[in-house]
Chain A
Amino acid sequence: MKKIGIVCIVALVVLLLPAMVFAGGQDEGKGNVTFYMALYDGLDQEFLDELEAGFMAENPDLSLEIVPVQWDRLRDKVTTAIAGGNPPDGSIIDTNWILEFMPLDAIDDIHQYVSKETTDNVFDSTKVGQFGPRLMGLPVAAGARIMAVNTEITTKVPRTLEEMREEAIRVNNPPNTYGYVMPGKKYIELTDFAYYVYAAGGDFFERGADGSYGKCIVNSPACVKALKFMTQLGNVDKVVQDGWIAMDRMETHPIFYAGKAAYVFIGSWVESAMKEQGATFKTVYAPIPGFEGQTPTSLVVVDNIAIYKDAKNKEGMGKFLDFFYQDEWKARFDEMVGFPPVTISASKLPQFKNPLYDALAEAAKYGKGWTPMVEGWSEARDIIWDQIVQVFLGRKEAQPALDEAAKAIDELRGIN
């Protein structure tokens, strides 16, 4: 018995040895193109395989590798690759990274590699990466954030946040029904605070006439009002889920999908997520309300594709993007990930005409681009989150907490 075991293992090792030593990556000889694809929910491997095959069929001299990367890990991987001197030809990136990578001269102008036809077909309003004549990021997915209402719990679509709060209090019936669900746990995005800041007509930084970013104003009255409102909903009115401080966005939204909440602020993925969770209730979509006296101002989140300066095959990357942005591929992609199309041609297609997309388009009209295009935003965001959580925990008051945050952020950016 023991002898057979040993023989088996030795045989296995001998068989696998060549694989261990020689297996490498892409085919040599062809032009290699590497693209990091962030794994949006709903995007399946089959589609990526078809995309790869389709591109290589049309471009037999190129070997394309679409590398699927989980979203949270995308940043690690891209940073390591760039710092390590071996960047991919292109990848999906968060808007703010454009700003981090530009001074490092790590990304290149899209216009140089992607055809004018393709770039003209993308909505100008989504081109947050446009700096003068240079386009540093090609928008791949853009969506506004909206409010979803569970019509089985309430049919009231509030027009102000105060109205929403009132209705939430009225229908609140824990633990079966919550008036509202809200995350309170530190997360990689600050959107869940930004909703209220924008609803109060505030912002995070002073803006110059030329669009430049100045002092940090996260301690302005509007932001303080926003934070106080959130704290009130969570700790005083208690209309949100019990463990809200322990839950981030990914853990909070399923409560809505389970039909246990009346209102939630969410994005374009809401319908596909609900379908996957088997939600059967009807929803109505509306713009995120502003506070009394303020026009609703939503966030528009844009993801981009960047081409890296030190990459080996930028032309090949450009060709891939031209291929990918054709309606037959891009529209399929958009449908799968649940985002409204960024291409003008695709937006005219019938499958994108439904209440959800209409609401998204409506909200986008009055939306502000997210994230603030400020260098050092990841650190600033962390500072703000830590202060906000202190307020949620009842350790600090809103004004002093945000004052501290503003001071630290200005120091960080060297602004006095």
Chain B
Amino acid sequence: MGRKTTSLNREATLAYFLILPSSVVLVSLMLYPIVYVFLMSVFKTNKLAGLVEFSGLRNYHQLARNPVFWAQLLRTLVWTTIGIIGHLFFGMVFALLLNREFTGRKIARLFLIVPWAAAIPISAMIWKWVFDPEFGLLNYSLRASGLWSKPPAWLGLPISAFTAVMWVDIWVGIPFVALVLLAGMQGISKDLYESAEIDGAGRWVSFWRITVPCIRHIIIIATLLTALWTFNDFNVIYILTRGGPAGSTDILITSIYRNGFEWLRFDRASTMSIVTFIILTVFSLLYARLYFRDEH
């Protein structure tokens, strides 16, 4: 009994020692910014992000009374949901395709990485160029190849703009998800598949019965982080549409940026940031439960 406790203590001490450096860095750098965001949400701020007077929950009340906020919130949730589905679907498809041995696999994987290798502001600019109604090669190719004789002016109309921006956001994240899932799949023993095949299971069945459960924890992490990043994906939307046309691609993070950096209304921006934080926390807690359930 005594020996077990000491070994536990030793483990714990070692653990604390190992996590100390990263925790210290994180907490020391992020504590002040996060606390300050909380503060700005319950204060009235001036245009230099200074605290002027305590206002309690007034900012939150004003936000709740603003119909535009609710529309943005709803849009953000739709955006994130479609984003997660898109990322997972395409990521999984690529991971499965690239999991098999074939000549040129290395090159194919390299090509997969390319969208991720380019910085988002740059690739968003290039997509903007691709979508250009007059000079862009997308509409030109669609027309010239006969696939679509009158393609829309993508970024100008609400629905096509949302679709276009959603696609670019998914496009940006596919390589990452595919890679993470692929790495996970590498860890699955080939024997499992072989014995399943002997038992007469088809590919579809072995995918759901073997692949998915084995990389379950990786899917959970990938989904969680994708959700967080998609929810807060600022650059793609801002560079392509600035939230337009008429606010149809405006989500919470673009509104936060606009309020903070363009209108210098830091209190409003912070309030929305805290709302974002609360939503993401709830989501993560629910999701993390799935992850930790694995451990028993």
Residues in A lying within 8 Å of B, measured CB to CB: 75-76, 79, 82-83, 100, 103-104, 106, 184-188, 241-247, 251, 254-255, 376, 378-379, 382, 385-386, 389-390, 393, 395
Contacts and interface: CB of A to CB of B under 8 A. Distances in A.
Interface stretch (B82-90, B110-118, B239-247): B239-247
Which 9 residue pairs across A and B have the least CB separation, nearest first?
A: A243-B133, A246-B156, A243-B153, A245-B156, A246-B153, A186-B244, A83-B49, A379-B263, A389-B246
B128 to A, nearest CB: 8
6 contacts: A185-B245, A246-B155, A254-B134, A378-B263, A389-B245, A393-B245
B10 interface: no
Given A79-B261, A100-B47, A185-B156, A247 B133 contact: yes
Contacts of B154: 246
Contacts of A386: 244, 246-247
B64 to A, nearest CB: 18
Which secondary structure dominates where chain A touches chain B?
Answer: helix
Interface in B243-267: 243-247, 258, 261-265
Contacts of A106: 48
A191 to B, nearest CB: 16
A209 to B, nearest CB: 29
Given A100-B264, A104-B47, A390-B246, A242 B133 contact: yes
A104 B48 contact: yes
B158 interface: yes
A118 B196 CA distance: 85
B32 interface: no
The size class of the interface chain B forms with chain A is 20 to 34
Q: Which of A244, A254, A382 has the most CB of B within 10 A?
A: A382
B149 interface: no
B292 interface: no
A242 B155 CA distance: 13
B233 interface: no
A183 B148 CA distance: 24
Given A79-B261, A82-B48, A185-B155, 18 more contacts: A76-B261, A104-B48, A106-B48, A186-B241, A188-B242, A242-B133, A242-B153, A243-B133, A243-B156, A244-B153, A245-B153, A246-B156, A247-B132, A251-B134, A378-B263, A379-B262, A379-B263, A393-B245
Interface of B: 46-50, 131-135, 153-158, 161, 241-247, 258, 261-265
B157 A246 contact: yes
Contact of B156 (A82, A247, A254): A247
Contact of B48 (A83, A246, A385): A83
A378 B262 contact: yes
Q: Which of B46, B49, B133 has the most CB of A within 10 A?
A: B133
Contacts of B158: 393
A82 to B, nearest CB: 6
A75 B262 CA distance: 8
Contacts of B258: 382
Contacts of B246: 186, 386, 389-390, 393, 395
Which secondary structure dominates where chain B touches chain A?
Answer: loop
A186 B134 contact: no
A70 to B, nearest CB: 10
Contacts of A187: 242
Nearest to B131: A246
Contacts of A186: 241-246
Contacts of B157: 245-246, 393
Contact of A251 (B132, B261, B265): B132
A185 B133 contact: no
Contacts of A255: 134
Q: Which of B153, B246, B247 has the most CB of A within 10 A?
A: B246
Contacts of B46: 104
B241 to A, nearest CB: 8
A287 B191 CA distance: 79
Contacts of B241: 185-186
Nearest to B151: A243
Given A104-B48, A185-B156, A378-B263, A246 B135 contact: no
B153 to A, nearest CB: 3
A308 to B, nearest CB: 12
A198 to B, nearest CB: 24
B155 A75 contact: no
A184 B241 CA distance: 12
Nearest to A380: B263
Nearest to A241: B134
Q: Which of B46, B48, B50, B156 has the most CB of A within 10 A?
A: B156
A184 B239 CA distance: 16
Nearest to A252: B134
A184 B132 contact: no
Nearest to B257: A76
A391 to B, nearest CB: 9
A82 B47 CA distance: 10
A106 B262 CA distance: 17
Contacts of A390: 246
B248 to A, nearest CB: 9
Contacts of B49: 83
A16 to B, nearest CB: 21
A76 B261 CA distance: 6
A246 B133 contact: yes
B162 to A, nearest CB: 13
A251 B49 CA distance: 34
A79 B265 CA distance: 12
A83 B270 CA distance: 15
Given A241-B133, A245-B157, A389 B244 contact: yes
Q: Which of A75, A243, A245 has the most CB of B within 10 A?
A: A243
Contacts of A389: 244-246
B77 to A, nearest CB: 22
A386 B245 CA distance: 7
A385 B263 CA distance: 15
Contacts of A103: 47
Nearest to B45: A83
A86 to B, nearest CB: 12
Contacts of B153: 242-247
Contacts of A382: 258, 262-263
A366 B215 CA distance: 70
